Structure 1
Amino acid sequence: MKKNKQQQNSVVGSLISIVFAFIIFSIVLTNAPVWAQDNKNDLVITTLFDSKSSNKDLKTGWGFSCLIQGTEKTILFDIGSDDAIINMDKLRINPASIDVLVISHDHFDHTVGMPAFLKINKKAKTIFVPCDSVKICNNVFTTGAMGTDIKENALIIKTAKGLVVITGCAHPGIVEIVQKAKQMFPKDEVYLVMGGFHLSMEREIIVQMIVSDLKKENVRKIAPSHCTGDYAESVFKKAFGADYIPGDVGKPIVIEGAFIKAIK
């Protein structure tokens, strides 16, 4: 009788261990980054710092930073706050794994986090204005310095679905940056434009004209954030409908099959 009770206790203990292990495994999966998928054909862009986030655990504020994964090199575009590094930790991103840091322009809200980042990551190649157009790696380029008073650099990624254009503040003009991307790659359509568009202080009629011009340039999807402004974002949302992507720190934009075929 005593032996049977010991066997029962042993079985119960084993079941508890299995259930506990399953719960822990489930938590690990739940907390794993959503971009941790073994699909090398996808392009993943994650905003690391900006003013809005649906995740209350992440830091937000005035500035911009985003991470590009899935390309040959892992790229950090702008780092406008030390909080971007805190967010990396919360998103389980290792700053030391980043290969290239691209700075769009020298304003504080795009550069403040540089010293803290470069202290952690001493190997990352840094690209910042003024500079000519640079090929960072396969399918990834910079526009080179644009503008007059404020020189700014934007990022262009060639994908199977079209060009992805990422801007910091678009001081030279968001339409002009898109046109520059199309001049550099005339055979490609523009699939996505994202980042700061510097429209928060613009008159409503100017905002409406810019939205109209981007539609004329056949921009497929739009993801405005940072200095774009609430009014401009609402106009973009109305114009692009389901192709409008709201800015959201920590929520990846995944372009599936971005590199499904060789791109020349």
Structure 2
Amino acid sequence: MHVDRSNTRFCRCNSAPRQFLCDAVDRRELICGGGAALVAGLLAGLLGGASPASAEKLTGEVPELDRVTVRVLIDSYQFAVAPGRKIDGLDIQHFGWGIGDHPPARTLISEFGLSMHVETQRGSETRNTLIDFGFTPEALNNNIELVGLNPGVLDALVLSHGHYDHFGGLVGFLQRTSGRLKPKLPLYVGGEDCFCAREWTGPPVQGDFGVLDRRALEKADLVVTDSVGPSLVGEHGFTSGRISQSSFEKLLSPSAMTIGIENGLGCFPERLAEEDRKPGLVPDQFRHELATAFNLKGRGLIVLTSCSHRGLINTIKQAQAVSGVDKVHAVIGGFHLAPYQPDYLRQTIAALREIDPTYVVPLHCSGEPFTDLAKAELPMKLLRAYTGTRLVFDSRSS
């Protein structure tokens, strides 16, 4: 077969099983699916696509922690004058302004994205985990500096899913902290589809939604770590693994994936679920979505949902099932309820009431209609947090 390298740069996949045709295939070009698996595998190293390391599987009892501190580094907005308060086993601290002992020059940046830093303590051990990276590196780097987080203490990074408002700040963060992070720092992802190029297909604006740069991850000396199954994170926490859909919740797909590699970016088809190995845009099923959870001694799970595309209730139940811990102390993060109608929100509230978490902390994509309803229906459970808020959960009564 003659391959003309002069013009076409994109791979065209024929519909016949295990047949393919790729034009201008070289180390920087697109690899197509189906029968291209062998070629893709041979070129994977050249394209910066070495198979991810396997995460340490979650076996036995999950670690019990004495303290879990969650700092919201990026959320959709900030309320600078919100008063802090202390309740049983929880200290709520809001950031305010970046004033300190000098006149104001800059303050926290809020944007449509999410990033959370978690510091955990077990006896004399302390571990630090950074979960998601917001929409822009400008916001993430600015906020990390203002809250005084030293990137050198980080023990693990977690990317909940491949949406730009969760990974957009990652590469710029890695560039800013070059030489300051621990060597071979693990980055936990939920599967190869995390790396697929995406289009935003839902309202209000459609278009290119970015692709995670594998080459930048390798340059930063990260160890991309596959957490398809429930896995330990930083010795103290654990990921949900793939989130099953067992409740009433319906998956909305506001984005679509392009399958393949172009110029070293994208996802390798042979590493995806078979039903996703199609040419063109494939509706996003979020099979790779992860939640991250921590078990506070005597209190229960603190579940960081990130975005809950596969359902808030499904996410919580997954964390309960893989950990063997039924009690949920707090659920924090994006609940992805903004697109849903009031009847669906009421079903969610009813399911939360049955799970009975001590605290519910909606962020990011949860939506004001849900927050308003939860305020009325779960007044003693609902807590508000914003960009900069620090939630200190202690196993001891205060």
Any conservation in 1 of the 2:357–2:381 contact (CA below 8 Å)? no
Counterpart CA distance in 2 for 1:136 and 1:69 is 12
Of residues 232, 237, 244 in structure 2, which corresponds to 1:135? 232
Greater fraction helix: 1
Any conservation in 2 of the 1:139–1:159 contact (CA below 8 Å)? no
The one-character-per-residue Cα deviations of 1:32-61 (angstroms, maximum 9, x if unpaired) are xxxxxxxx9421101000112123521001
The one-character-per-residue Cα deviations of 1:224-248 (angstroms, maximum 9, x if unpaired) are 1100001111112222213211121
Structure 1 runs of 4+ aligned residues shifted over 3 Å read: none
Of residues 285, 293, 317 in structure 2, which corresponds to 1:156? 293
Q: Give the superposed CA RMSD.
A: 1.9
Which residue of structure 2 aligns with residue 79 of structure 1? 133
Closer, same or farther: CA 98–242 of 1 in aligned 2, 3 Å = same
Any conservation in 2 of the 1:167–1:194 contact (CA below 8 Å)? yes
Any conservation in 2 of the 1:221–1:244 contact (CA below 8 Å)? yes
| Partner-residue secondary structure (3-state), 2:362 | strand
Pair 1:46-2:71 in alignment: yes
Matches for 1:146-225 after TM superposition, within 5 Å: 146=243, 149-151=285-287, 152-160=289-297, 161-225=299-363
Any conservation in 2 of the 1:221–1:240 contact (CA below 8 Å)? no
Pair 1:95-2:151 in alignment: yes
**Cα displacement (A) at 1:118:** 2.1
Which residue of structure 2 aligns with residue 61 of structure 1? 111
Any conservation in 1 of the 2:243–2:318 contact (CA below 8 Å)? no
Which residue of structure 2 aligns with residue 27 of structure 1? none
**Cα displacement (A) at 1:99:** 1.5
| Partner-residue secondary structure (3-state), 1:199 | coil
The one-character-per-residue Cα deviations of 1:205-259 (angstroms, maximum 9, x if unpaired) are 101110110110122210011000011111122222132111211120110227x
Moved more, 185-194 or 60-69: 185-194
Any conservation in 2 of the 1:47–1:66 contact (CA below 8 Å)? yes
Structure 1 residues without counterparts, runs of 5 or longer: 1-39, 259-264
Amino acid paired to 1:92 = G
Amino acid paired to 1:116 = G
| Partner-residue secondary structure (3-state), 1:47 | strand
Structure 2 residues without counterparts, runs of 5 or longer: 1-64, 81-96, 98-106, 192-227, 245-283
Of residues 247, 252, 262 in structure 1, which corresponds to 2:385? 247
Counterpart CA distance in 1 for 2:325 and 2:111 is 38
Give aligned-pair identity as a percent.
Answer: 24
Counterpart CA distance in 2 for 1:187 and 1:74 is 22
Greater fraction strand: 2
Amino acid paired to 1:58 = L
Q: How many residue pairs are counted as aligned between the two chains? A: 220
Closer, same or farther: CA 94–150 of 1 in aligned 2, 3 Å = same
**Cα displacement (A) at 1:95:** 2.0
Moved more, 157-166 or 128-137: 128-137
Matches for 1:30-45 after TM superposition, within 5 Å: 41-45=66-70
Counterpart CA distance in 1 for 2:154 and 2:375 is 32
Which residue of structure 2 aligns with residue 104 of structure 1? 160
Amino acid paired to 2:74 = F
Matches for 1:229-240 after TM superposition, within 5 Å: 229-240=367-378
| Partner-residue secondary structure (3-state), 2:71 | strand
Any conservation in 2 of the 1:84–1:113 contact (CA below 8 Å)? yes
| Partner-residue secondary structure (3-state), 2:370 | helix
Any conservation in 2 of the 1:106–1:129 contact (CA below 8 Å)? no
Closer, same or farther: CA 187–200 of 1 in aligned 2, 3 Å = closer
Closer, same or farther: CA 212–106 of 1 in aligned 2, 3 Å = same
The one-character-per-residue Cα deviations of 1:118-151 (angstroms, maximum 9, x if unpaired) are 2213633110121221111444100012267112
Amino acid paired to 2:78 = S
Counterpart CA distance in 1 for 2:171 and 2:295 is 30
Of residues 150, 153, 174 in structure 2, which corresponds to 1:118? 174
| Partner-residue secondary structure (3-state), 2:385 | coil
Q: Normalised by the size of structure 1, how large is the TM-score?
A: 0.78
